[in-house]
Amino acid sequence: MLLHKEGRGPLIGFAITLIGLNAFIALFAGGTFSYVFLAISALFYLAVLNFFRYEPRKHSDGPLEIVCPADGRVVVVEETEEKELLGCRCLQVSVFMSVFDMHVNWIPCNGVVEHVSHTDGSFLSAHLPKSSTDNERSAVIIRTEGGDRILVRQVAGAIARRIVTYPEVGQHVDINQNLGFIKFGSRVDLYLPLGTKVHVKVGQKVQGNITDIATLPR
């Protein structure tokens, strides 16, 4: 298990803060309280360290294959109207990431990046359906070799406050590459063309760059 690069800054900041607080308490309070606070600080730091863990993964790719973009649990599998960017009816598959999941996001298919955008918004619970349209979010559209447009949307939640997205417009991307990282949250939405065969169901536990989400119709 490795540490993701997005965790370096926050972890250094947390470490400095906790060291300072523990030094202050040891100096002015001391005794049992300082030992209890030290133990709590250590547990808190380990929890944050776990959040930024990273596990390199390899998946055999195929031209019609859609691979899971995040660790978590499937909360939506439905046909919907995607009005904001695609302007058509699609199949939506959404994965909710709890604070215990690895928060790296993965490229779900091979293709060329056609669109990248970030939209400010609210910080509603990512379990809510309207979080996809009301919350802070980033969107990436990938055009596959077969001409299908796949929309991947990173959605912030009630705790998340920063979305990091790596691809740039015009870049060729592949399965096994990182899409980005959502710090302390929370959901990734996939919008797939109608006719796509979905292989997961609501409530299913999935893993980024491991679980096969769907197969494109062409």
Question: What end-to-end distance do the CA atoms of the chain give, in Å?
Answer: 37
From start to end of the chain, where are the E strands? Answer: 2-3, 53-54, 65-67, 72-82, 88-96, 104-106, 111-119, 137-143, 149-155, 162-165, 172-173, 178-183, 187-192, 197-198, 205-206, 212-215
Report the SS3 class of residue 138.
strand
Question: Could you confirm whether 41 is annotated as catalytic?
Answer: no
Let me know: does 183 contact 8? Beta carbons within 8 Å: no
- CA 203, distance to chain mean position in Å, is 17
Active site residues: 186
